[in-house]
Chains A and B, each alone.
Chain A
Amino acid sequence: MITPELLAQHHITPDEYERIKQLLGREPSLTELGVFSVMWSEHCSYKSSRVHLKRLPTEGACLVQGPGENAGIVDIGDGWCAAFKIESHNHPSFIEPYQGAATGVGGILRDIFTMGARPVAAMNSLRFGPIRDADVNDATENTSAKSIARNRRIMAGVVKGVGDYGNAFGVPTIGGEVLFADCYSFNPLVNAFALGLVRREQIFYGKAEGIGNAVVYVGAKTGRDGIHGATMASAEFDEAALEKRPTVQVGDPFAEKLLLEACLEAMRSGAVTGIQDMGAAGLTCSTCEMGARGGTGVELDLDKVPQRETGMTAYEMLLSESQERMLCVATPGRERQLLEIFERWDLDAAIVGRVTDDQRMRVFHKGEVVVDVPNAALTDEAPLYYRPMAETAAVDATDVTPQVVAAFNARPIKFSTKASLKAAQNRYADLLTELLARPNLASKQWVYRQYDHMVRTNTVVLPGSDAAVIRVKETRRSLAMSLDGNGRYSELNPRAGAALAVAESARNVVCSGAQPLAVTNCLNFANPERPVVMRAFSETIDGISEACRTFDVPVTGGNVSLYNETEGRGIQNTPVIGMLGLIEDAKHITTQWFKDAGDVVLLLGRTNNDLGASELCHALTGQAVGAVPQLDLAFEKNVQQVCLQAIRGGLVKSAHDCADGGLAVALAESCFAHYGATALGATLDLTEHLQASGINDLVDAEARKLALLYAESPSRIVLSATAESVAAIQALAAEANVPCSVLGNVGGDSLQLVAEGETLINATVNRLEEGWRNSLSSYLDRTQARAA
């Protein structure tokens, strides 16, 4: 008997229950109710977001497989395709950082090799609450001393979880982003990205085809772990959140590695016709989805499923989210061969059912039918919600420059012991040193040093540059990829924030020498039942769509994570964009670092009065507010095309996207030492650029300087080139009406920035680099020591 209490426990509303009875023509059994609850959960059904996701552009010349499969696939030439996708594992990572992050990586890797592709690269986009002692402020729980300490533990656990899983599996973790803000204290974000390579003719799909074909279960035994994980991930957290730890699965990268090799071998052998991994909603999801995609039904006998513990009920087996499991359909007559391949890899495998013609999911347990539901009821017929939305998105349009300037002028002139007296007097250099050491901008070496980013010997651009680049050994081609999102921008202006994220990720792959090809996205939001959140979500979709159309890149899939909210404290709107770019010729691969003394430094684009929501604004005023940077998509595209043409013309020695932190930060980063190359200074005069920019008419002299150095205007790229190449680059820029100013030359051991005759910054690169390089470990290694 289904009681209201039961429904509440399953997060099924009374209306939804009515619909279930209608679809079944009867009352569901408890097991069926469990099946509905996971398949109709936000996490599996996208019931709040589907109506909006339809607006994303999913057409493109390179597209082979768009949204709806386990991963998107694009053609990269020479008969090869790239399967890639990003997925969130936010809720589990808050409850149990290490396993939550590890199984997030495991899940996305399975999504890739389910398509027949061998994973060759992983990245992740991480968001945590503040970790600096300076951030402690007991005024809000997000920044209490207790929270800061917890944030450090969460970050250390997540990074170890990502590393331990990817390292053992043998996929290089080559890039991503790590950012910090108060709102992530109780809602850390872990978005895992993976990319795999597959021959076009060897792509596999999650379809159950061929009436009567055997359905084979392979991988880890089914246990009681992760039951209702999907439902957990579809609800807000309360004080009791940590009691949900049992709903977090435990990862086994070794089993996953065996599963990978066994599945790829099985696919090559031709003994498999369709295959799907068991992720969220485990056996239930794979069973009804494979049937739905194949237009068939699937019949399961749970007694044949390999089980880790005894006495499991049908309910538990169907809802278990035990990791490292796959469901596949065997080619008729080849079942034995298939089982032999799995046995060779020491994996549990068994024939657990067959494909039927009645488009139903039918499950037997101990001889009884325990589930008998039409596939459509669990997939296409799942509820769709047009959630109420606020009339308009709340957009902050205030010009915060005056406050920023006031805050800057109010700063006492520090005499730091580290710096020389001369340097200490240089207020702009002090500010730059401070900004570079802020966790958002600081070196992420503490993180990627714990990831094997070189296994498979394809990583031709190691972590730290604008985009990560891997070669495709079988061809002359390389793939560039970048993950980008800015919660500050998206919170203050959802539509612009989303477009800015797409623009930046495209700029990053362009700076590495690649043509943007396709996009995957991970949309992290708070409670969709709040109209303002739903409006922000809708605006985000439109922002992404507009930008993707401009750059002519299709969205090949992705993931939505809602209810990132704990006790009413929600996250900022955080769309994360994963951009894939193609480099046709290895000699076009470019990095952000200056190469040789004497090279000329150029700057493409304009700097506008974009101090709103900037890192500087946050550093000086304590909050990132105001109008987000102005983005002109057409202009952005021109800037990127000039950069790419120059790179392909062999004119460019380094290219660096200029965004977070502003121009001064970008220039400093180009100077820093990297991978055996020593630091290189530069002597630069920004006057020409200043006068060609929107900030030239700012009356306040201080405002002009701060905006010049730290405004986060998009559509700017720092290039370096030999003197001989400069004219050609300027010609390309002139043709596209893109301002291109010569700033000066690479050389020496100091970064010197002059504007209108005034030396704004004159600091040794080593001094700028020290705090930048040591920042994260100075906060995180101590906690580790204490924890140990």
Chain B
Amino acid sequence: MKFGVVMFPGSNCDHDAYHVISKVIGQPVDFIWHKDTELDGFDAIILPGGFSYGDYMRTGAIARFSPVMTPLKQFAADGGLVIGICNGFQILCEAGLLPGALLRNRGLKYICEHVNLRVEQTDTPYTGCYKEGDVLSVPIAHGEGNYFCDDATLAELERERRVIFRYSEPNGDISDAANPNGSRNNIAGICNRERNVLGMMPHPERASEGALLSKDGRAVFLSMADYLRPLLKPVLNKAA
């Protein structure tokens, strides 16, 4: 099994993602340069957070044209695991791998703080180690995390159970007060119809170690490893 972390110019959570995979869940991982044109040998690809190309035009709007996006689309079509975190989520939306768009936070300010996430679905490669309804403490750090899509798309996402994480109260209740950025239906993370591509604004890699405030996000990566290699289970339980 091998993970890959794409380095776009302006990515700044690439080292954090690399650290979680290599040091925290102890799996093989390599960086992937944005100018690379093939992705042989990878089983899961992480599009990390940051400000690709400065995000001067529209978040992710330039990154979608990076050479690496062509093989990435094929990789996803072939069922490979692709997770976009924060800027990575924005890029996946711009690239059409996920529906909708991330608008400016309704407060018009960048927000960096821990929020509560309710796990909505566990039948994805990213949430297999969670229980439905689990409430996680995971940080957000973004100025454009306000998930928007039209009514039809929203209905489809809900109907197909593709909303994976929602901003919630500590007790799991979904309220407007618990919605930090104005996202429709408190959406924090969604997946594609095939459920192998996930985009989420919160940063699970920042909540994966005891030394940090929360390790609730670690199971996202453990779930991926678990999905890619079921044999990992015993190790997993120990870690969880």
Q: Show the binding face of A for B, using Cβ within 8 Å.
A: 163-164, 167-170, 252-255, 257-258, 345-346, 448-457, 459-460, 462, 471, 473, 586, 675-676, 784, 788
Would B15 and A460 count as touching, CB distance under 8 A? no
Would B56 and A254 count as touching, CB distance under 8 A? yes
Closest to B53 in A: A254
Would A168 and B111 count as touching, CB distance under 8 A? no
Q: Produce 1/0 per residue, B83-126, CB < 8 A to A.
A: 00000000000000000000000001111111000000000000
Query: Is B213 part of the contact surface with A, judged by Cβ < 8 Å?
Result: yes
Would B113 and A257 count as touching, CB distance under 8 A? no
CA distance A675 to B51 in the complex (A): 26
CA distance A788 to B106 in the complex (A): 13
List residues of B (1-42) whose CB comes within 8 Å of A's CBs: 9-10, 12-13, 15-16, 19-20, 23
Shortest Cβ distance from residue B164 to the other chain A in the assembled complex, whole angstroms: 22
Would B211 and A586 count as touching, CB distance under 8 A? yes
Closest to A159 in B: B109
Given A168-B10, A252-B54, A254-B9, A457:B19 Cβ within 8 A: yes
Residues of A within 8 A of B54 (CB): 168, 252-255
Would B16 and A456 count as touching, CB distance under 8 A? yes
CA distance A584 to B29 in the complex (A): 30
Of A170, A455, A457, which is in contact with the most chain B CB atoms at under 10 Å from its CB? A457
Would A454 and B10 count as touching, CB distance under 8 A? no
Residues of A within 8 A of B203 (CB): 454
Shortest Cβ distance from residue B67 to the other chain A in the assembled complex, whole angstroms: 13
Would A257 and B12 count as touching, CB distance under 8 A? yes
Q: What are 10 A-B pairs with beta-carbon distances under 8 A?
A: A168-B10, A254-B54, A257-B10, A257-B51, A450-B111, A454-B203, A455-B141, A457-B209, A460-B211, A471-B211
Residues of A within 8 A of B16 (CB): 455-457
Query: Is B137 part of the contact surface with A, judged by Cβ < 8 Å?
Result: yes
Residues of A within 8 A of B111 (CB): 449-450
Would B10 and A676 count as touching, CB distance under 8 A? no
Query: Is B55 part of the contact surface with A, judged by Cβ < 8 Å?
Result: yes
Shortest Cβ-Cβ A-B pairs, 6 listed: A170-B12, A254-B54, A168-B51, A452-B141, A457-B16, A452-B112
Would B110 and A258 count as touching, CB distance under 8 A? no
Would B9 and A453 count as touching, CB distance under 8 A? no
Residues of B within 8 A of A167 (CB): 51, 110, 112, 141, 143
Would A784 and B108 count as touching, CB distance under 8 A? yes
Residues of A within 8 A of B56 (CB): 254
Interface residues on chain B, number (Cβ under 8 Å): 36
* Besides the known contacts A253-B54, A450-B110, 9 further A-B residue pairs in the complex with CB atoms under 8 A apart: A170-B13, A254-B53, A254-B56, A257-B9, A449-B111, A457-B205, A460-B211, A676-B137, A676-B214
CA distance A469 to B141 in the complex (A): 19
Residues of B within 8 A of A675 (CB): 114, 213
CA distance A342 to B122 in the complex (A): 45
Shortest Cβ distance from residue B144 to the other chain A in the assembled complex, whole angstroms: 12
Would B212 and A457 count as touching, CB distance under 8 A? yes
List residues of B (107-165) whose CB comes within 8 Å of A's CBs: 108-114, 137, 139, 141, 143
Residues of A within 8 A of B166 (CB): none
Shortest Cβ distance from residue A197 to the other chain B in the assembled complex, whole angstroms: 12
Would B51 and A788 count as touching, CB distance under 8 A? no
The answer, among B9, B49, B112, for a CB contact under 8 Å with A449, is: B112
Residues of B within 8 A of A345 (CB): 9
Residues of B within 8 A of A455 (CB): 12-13, 16, 49, 141, 206
Query: Is B199 part of the contact surface with A, judged by Cβ < 8 Å?
Result: no
Would A454 and B139 count as touching, CB distance under 8 A? yes
Shortest Cβ distance from residue B85 to the other chain A in the assembled complex, whole angstroms: 12
Would B211 and A450 count as touching, CB distance under 8 A? no
Would A449 and B108 count as touching, CB distance under 8 A? no
Would A450 and B112 count as touching, CB distance under 8 A? yes
Given A254-B56, A456-B15, A457-B205, A676:B51 Cβ within 8 A: no
Would A450 and B51 count as touching, CB distance under 8 A? no
CA distance A16 to B108 in the complex (A): 51
CA distance A141 to B108 in the complex (A): 31
Would B15 and A163 count as touching, CB distance under 8 A? no
Residues of A within 8 A of B110 (CB): 163-164, 167, 450-452
Query: Is B182 part of the contact surface with A, judged by Cβ < 8 Å?
Result: no
Closest to B7 in A: A261
Would A788 and B9 count as touching, CB distance under 8 A? no
Of A254, A258, A453, which is in contact with the most chain B CB atoms at under 10 Å from its CB? A254
Residues of A within 8 A of B51 (CB): 167-168, 253-254, 257
Closest to B54 in A: A254
CA distance A451 to B139 in the complex (A): 13
Q: Produce 1/0 per residue, B199-228, CB < 8 A to A.
A: 000010110110111100000000000000
Query: Is B60 part of the contact surface with A, judged by Cβ < 8 Å?
Result: no
Shortest Cβ distance from residue B205 to the other chain A in the assembled complex, whole angstroms: 7
Closest to A785 in B: B108
Residues of A within 8 A of B211 (CB): 460, 471, 586
Query: Is B189 part of the contact surface with A, judged by Cβ < 8 Å?
Result: no
Residues of B within 8 A of A253 (CB): 51, 54
Closest to B35 in A: A344
Would B213 and A676 count as touching, CB distance under 8 A? yes
Residues of A within 8 A of B141 (CB): 167, 452, 454-455
Closest to B24 in A: A457
Shortest Cβ distance from residue B34 to the other chain A in the assembled complex, whole angstroms: 10
The answer, among A168, A449, A456, A459, for a CB contact under 8 Å with B113, is: A449
CA distance A346 to B20 in the complex (A): 28
CA distance A496 to B141 in the complex (A): 41
Residues of A within 8 A of B114 (CB): 675-676
Given A257-B12, A460-B211, A675-B213, A453:B112 Cβ within 8 A: yes
Residues of B within 8 A of A471 (CB): 211
Residues of A within 8 A of B205 (CB): 457
Residues of B within 8 A of A170 (CB): 12-13, 50
Q: Produce 1/0 per residue, B57-78, CB < 8 A to A.
A: 0000000000000000000000
Residues of A within 8 A of B19 (CB): 457, 473
Would A254 and B139 count as touching, CB distance under 8 A? no
Shortest Cβ distance from residue A728 to the other chain B in the assembled complex, whole angstroms: 27
Shortest Cβ distance from residue A117 to the other chain B in the assembled complex, whole angstroms: 15
CA distance A255 to B10 in the complex (A): 9
Residues of B within 8 A of A457 (CB): 16, 19-20, 205-206, 208-209, 212
Would A168 and B55 count as touching, CB distance under 8 A? yes
Would A451 and B112 count as touching, CB distance under 8 A? yes
Closest to B111 in A: A449
CA distance A451 to B113 in the complex (A): 9
Closest to B209 in A: A457
Residues of A within 8 A of B139 (CB): 454
CA distance A346 to B54 in the complex (A): 13
CA distance A258 to B206 in the complex (A): 23
CA distance A252 to B212 in the complex (A): 30
Given A167-B141, A254-B51, A455-B141, A462:B9 Cβ within 8 A: no
CA distance A675 to B141 in the complex (A): 15
CA distance A122 to B143 in the complex (A): 19
